[in-house]
C-alpha cells in the first residue's frame, strides 16, 4: 500500500511542476478528495448508501470537491486545485488529470429511468479548468479538453477540443506533444513550466486573433454582398 501511495504521489509530481516534495503533495485537496472517495465508493458498493453519502459530504466540506460515491475512478487520478463536481455514473480511467472548476455532469433521462447519465473519461485524458463535460459521452484516450469548453458529444482519442460547444482543433503532426503537457497544449513545442503562464496567455491571444479575423472576413463578405445587391437593384 505504501508503494502504491508513493507511485501515486510521483505521478502527480510528474504532472505538476509546483511541489518540491511528496509531503507537499499530501496537502493537496485533490489527493484528500480521492482518498475519501475510495472509502465512500467501497461503502457504496456494499449498499451502505447513507454512510457513503456521509463520507462524501465530509469530503466536500473539507476539500471543496464533490465526487459522488458511485463514480468509478482508476489509478493516478489527479485533480489540480479543486472545486470539481463528478457525478454518480461517471467513469474515469487511469492517469487522468482534471484542473479546477470542472464538472463531469449528467443529463436527466427523458423516460425518468436512472442509468448512465455522466461522462466516461478514458486513460490519459486532460480536462482544462472550467470545462463542462455533460451527459453519457466518452472522452477518448489522451484527449485534451480546453479551458471553459463545453463537451456534449463523444471526443475522439487524442483530440484537442475547444469552445462552446466544444469542437476539435486541427494540429500539425510536428506540434503534437507525446508526453504530458501541463495545462493542455501550448502554442509552441518549446515549453518550459517556468513560462507556462506566458504560453497560456499567448494561446488565448492567438485564438482571439483568429476569431477576430473570421469575424472581420464575415463582415466584409456581408458588406460586399449588400453593395452588389444595391447595384443590382439600382440597375
Looking at the fold, whether 194 and 94 belong to one and the same domain comes out as no
Confidence (pLDDT) at 190:
43
pTM: 0.71
Q: How many other CB atoms are there within 10 angstroms of residue 65's CB atom?
A: 23
Looking at the fold, whether 94 and 201 belong to one and the same domain comes out as no
In 78-224, DSSP assigns E strands to: 78-79, 85-86, 91-92, 97-98, 103-105, 120-121, 126-127, 132-134, 138-139, 144-145, 150-151, 160-162, 167-168
Confidence (pLDDT) at 112:
47
Looking at the fold, whether 122 and 202 belong to one and the same domain comes out as no
* Pairing relationship of beta strands 160-162 and 138-139 according to DSSP bridges: unpaired
Looking at the fold, whether 148 and 97 belong to one and the same domain comes out as yes
Confidence (pLDDT) at 187:
46
Which of 132, 155, 178 marks a domain boundary?
178
When the pLDDT of each residue in the chain is averaged and rounded to a whole number, the result is 84
Looking at the fold, whether 64 and 8 belong to one and the same domain comes out as yes
Looking at the fold, whether 81 and 158 belong to one and the same domain comes out as yes
Looking at the fold, whether 84 and 151 belong to one and the same domain comes out as yes
Looking at the fold, whether 119 and 139 belong to one and the same domain comes out as yes
Confidence (pLDDT) at 203:
66
Contacts of 129 (CB under 8 A, 6+ apart): 81, 99, 100, 101, 102, 147, 148
| Measured distance CA(214)–CA(10) in Å, rounded | 44
Looking at the fold, whether 35 and 147 belong to one and the same domain comes out as yes
Domain interval for residue 55: 2-178
- What CATH number should be reported for the domain holding residue 23? 2.160.10.10
Which grid coordinates are listed for 28?
A: 493537496
Looking at the fold, whether 143 and 217 belong to one and the same domain comes out as no
Domains of the chain: total:
2
Looking at the fold, whether 119 and 54 belong to one and the same domain comes out as yes
The per-residue pLDDT string of the chain (235 residues; one tens digit each, 9 = 90 and over) reads: 788 889 999 899 888 888 889 999 999 999 999 999 999 999 999 999 999 999 999 999 999 999 999 999 999 999 998 899 999 999 999 999 999 999 999 876 555 456 789 999 999 999 999 999 999 999 999 999 988 899 999 999 989 988 888 888 865 444 455 556 555 544 444 444 455 556 566 666 777 787 788 888 888 888 888 888 887 777 6
Confidence (pLDDT) at 3:
86
Looking at the fold, whether 115 and 88 belong to one and the same domain comes out as yes
Amino acid at each position: 500500500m505504501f508503494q502504491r501511495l508513493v507511485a501515486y504521489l510521483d505521478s502527480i509530481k510528474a504532472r505538476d511542476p509546483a511541489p518540491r516534495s511528496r509531503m507537499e503533495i499530501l496537502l493537496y485537496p485533490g489527493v484528500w478528495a480521492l482518498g475519501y472517495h475510495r472509502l465512500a465508493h467501497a461503502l457504496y458498493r456494499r449498499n451502505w448508501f447513507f454512510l457513503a453519502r456521509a463520507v462524501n459530504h465530509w469530503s466536500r466540506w473539507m476539500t471543496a470537491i464533490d465526487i459522488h460515491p458511485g463514480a468509478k475512478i482508476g489509478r493516478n487520478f489527479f485533480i489540480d486545485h479543486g472545486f470539481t463536481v463528478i457525478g454518480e455514473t461517471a467513469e474515469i480511467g487511469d492517469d487522468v488529470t482534471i484542473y479546477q472548476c470542472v464538472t463531469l455532469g449528467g443529463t436527466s433521462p427523458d423516460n425518468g429511468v436512472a442509468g448512465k447519465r455522466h461522462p466516461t473519461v478514458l486513460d490519459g485524458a486532460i480536462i482544462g479548468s472550467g470545462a463542462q463535460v455533460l451527459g453519457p459521452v466518452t472522452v477518448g484516450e489522451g484527449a485534451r479538453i480546453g479551458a471553459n469548453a463545453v463537451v456534449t458529444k463523444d471526443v475522439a482519442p487524442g483530440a484537442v477540443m475547444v469552445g462552446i460547444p466544444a469542437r476539435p482543433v486541427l494540429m500539425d503532426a510536428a506540434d503534437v506533444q507525446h508526453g504530458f503537457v501541463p495545462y493542455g497544449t501550448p502554442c509552441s513545442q518549446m515549453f518550459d513550466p517556468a513560462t507556462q503562464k506566458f504560453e497560456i496567455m499567448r494561446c488565448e491571444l492567438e485564438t482571439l486573433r483568429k476569431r477576430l479575423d473570421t469575424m472581420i472576413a464575415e463582415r466584409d463578405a456581408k458588406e460586399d454582398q449588400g453593395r452588389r445587391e444595391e447595384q443590382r437593384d439600382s440597375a
